Each structure stands twice: as C-alpha cells, then as structure tokens.
Amino acid sequence: MNMTLNEQQMKPSPSPGTHQPEGALSQTALGSTLRPFGLLAELTYRCPLRCPYCSNPTQILSDQRQPELTTSEWQRVISEAATLGVLHLLFSGGEPLLRRDLPILVDSARTVGLYTNLITSALGLTQRRLQELREAGLDSVQISFQADEAALADGIAGCPGAHERKLEAARLVNACGLPLTINVVLHRGNIERLPALIALAERLGAQRLELASTQYLGWAFCNKVALLPTRAQVQQAETIVRAAQERLRGRMEVIYVWPDYYAERPKPCLYGWGRRYLTITPEGEVLPCQTARIIPNLHFDNVRQHSLAWIWQRSAAFERFRGSHWMPEPCRSCPLREQDFGGCRCQAFLLTGDAANTDPACSLSPHRARLLAILSEVEQQSGSSSSFHSPFAPDGQPLIPILFRTNPKSCPGE
C-alpha cells in the first residue's frame, strides 16, 4: 500500500544519531499547536502472560532487535514529556515490573510533577516492591483480570496460578492505600461472566472498574472470530453495565468501552491521531497509538535521535492523520468528522488495506461489508445470535484454535 504525503509531511528528518535541537516550527504543522495529555510508556515487551488479545506487536521476538531504553534515556524522556505538557504517565508493557529500575522512573516522574499509573498483570507485585513504588511516588495501580474464576482466568492468560497472585496483589494495593483500578478486557470467553466480574471488583475494594471491549488489533485481530462476542451478548452486557453504574454510583466508578464493531459510528480513537496521547515503545519509537506500527510506509522517529517535542510537533508520521485534511469521502463532508476523527487508522488498515480509508466501523464506510462479513462469521460459529459458545472450556482450555501471545521472557523472578 502506498500513501501520498503532502509537502509538509515529506520534509526529511535529520540524520539518525544526532539529537534534534529545538527550532522554528512550520506554521502549517498542527502538532505545534497541540499538547499531549497522556504518555503510555511501554517499558518492555517481556510479560508473564500470553493473552490472545494482547496489543503488543505480533512479531514480538523480531521487534526486540534493538535494546530497551536505558534508565537514563527514560529519565530524559520523562523530563521532556513534562516540558511538552504531558500530565499523566502510564507505565505499561509487557509487564513493567520486569524493569528493576521502575522505582527510579516513578521517582523521576514525581520530580517533574506527573501523575503516574502502573498498568500491570500484578505478577511480581510483592509487598516490598509495592512499598518501594509507593515511596517513589506512584499515584495509582491498575491490575488486569481475565475472569472471575481461577481456572478460566489462568487459561485465558496462559499462565497457571496467575489469578490467585492477582487477588493477593489487589489486597496489597488496598492495604497500602493506593487507588486501585481493576481492568477486564471483555470478549466471548468471559463476557457472560460480567456480573461475577463486577462483584469481584467490589470484593477487592476497587475504586474504579474498567470494562474494555477487546480492540481487534495486534494478537486480537488474529483471533477476532474466536473472541468477538455476538450482538446479543453485547446488548446484554450493556444492560448489565448500565445497572451496575447506577447501583455503584458514588462507590465505584464503572467505565465501559463499547465494541464499535456493533455500532453505527466508530469510536474517536484516542480522541484523534496525534492529538492528545502518544506511546513510546521499549526501544524508543514514538507512536500516535500503541499499534500504529502495523501501518506500512510510516516512519516512526526514535527518542534516541530526536527530542520528544520535535517528534510530537514535526514528525511526518504524527502529522499524517492529524486534523481532517487527509480524509476521503464520506468523512471529508461528514459533520461528525471532528468528533470521531474518521475512526481508528489501524482498524481501517487491517480491514481495508489502507489506513486512510473510512473505518468500516462506520455504517457510511464504503468498506462496511468487510466488517459485516466478520460479524456474520461470528454468529455462524456461535450457532445463533442468542446462543453462546465460549472459545474456552470452564477449565480454561481452548475449545477452538487460538493464537496465544509469544513471549520474549516468562514470569518475573525467574
């Protein structure tokens, strides 16, 4: 696939190996007028889990050709992020606890005034480690759960014993006084456990429960037919979530990220490409979203060669899908183009072969039939729109072929 870049986007980057100095910015660069709110710091792709919906690259082993950023490199990036306007720093991965310098990085973020959140599987989150992070200035912890029952949860995660360790870690977080968010990625293997998952978050004393429908990118795209719930399941889940939000109002915040495969309009992916968020990979590439590297013919600059400000403000990859000038019809003349921003660029690429196309999650997309064909296959595999066939047995064993995440390294502490 070839994408045509405008003249501003085609301006060459400085040669690799030199740190780009600050300079006068083009008046046409939208990035010069925007300030990022959040930074997702993917410290490593190493992880104890093998979740089949992971957003890390499917070529995870070959993508580790370059070494991870060093402690000092991350410290510089954190300082630059604060100067750029970032307020919220999320430490993620892989499993960020595998970085032994994590407390140092948390302390660096506190020093420059950033709010920090640890996004973790919680494997390796011992009382001593948690105390180190709390003393370093960590503000909150988000723990992922795959299901409410150990056998099913461990089967989905591909890591025996993980669920019980997560439960203990959640208790430790509560005991140390840090705010706790429970995150559950919803798919056909656990969506009918939704009432029990909400009850689990209540028992664990979470301040926030994030129920995130699987984003069918990365490993999840490989498993989309196995993991996509039926329309009936999605409708039932929405009813359950609305009731929980009302019942738990003032006690626990319940956030629901809906699956736009079943919507008429796409989600405003990260509130627009390169508008509010950025991701830094373990080896230092800066992305508008964490899965953007699947789009060919885009070069993502690295913090080892350029300042974060230069990349945010002048990188051709960030400018490529900013604003609405690049949009084809029907997006170009749509009154909602500044609300949904044409949907997800990665989803558009995976479903149509061209990242500039209208996201097929939109009912007006000329490529809508490609998404509908996937949904039809899901319904056929499930038997009917009202019946349920989980891809996992109650003991967590897959009942149909599922591609589990590949890992460069297994569990923490080994």
Rounded to whole angstroms, the Cα distance separating 405 from 49 reads 8
Tell me: is residue 47 an annotated ligand-binding position. Answer: yes
Tell me: is residue 344 an annotated ligand-binding position. Answer: no
Q: Could you tell me if 347 and 321 are in contact, meaning their C-beta atoms sit under 8 angstroms apart?
A: no
Mention every residue, 6+ apart, whose C-beta is less than 8 A from residue 201: 182, 209, 252
Q: From edge to edge, which strands make up the β-sheet containing 38-42?
A: 253-257, 208-213, 180-186, 140-145, 115-120, 88-92, 38-42, 277-280, 286-287
Helices 102-111 + 127-136 axis angle, to 10: 20
Structure tokens at 402: 């599922």
Q: Could you tell me if 266 and 362 are in contact, meaning their C-beta atoms sit under 8 angstroms apart?
A: yes
Tell me: is residue 54 an annotated ligand-binding position. Answer: yes
Rounded to whole angstroms, the Cα distance separating 52 from 224 reads 10
Burial class (CB in 10 A: 0-12, 13-18, 19+), 16: exposed
Among 360, 328, 331, 193, which residue's Cα sits nearest to residue 260? 360
Q: Could you tell me if 206 and 255 are in contact, meaning their C-beta atoms sit under 8 angstroms apart?
A: no
Q: List, as residue ranges, the binding site for [4Fe-4S] cluster.
A: 47, 51, 54
Q: List, as residue ranges, the binding site.
A: 47, 51, 54
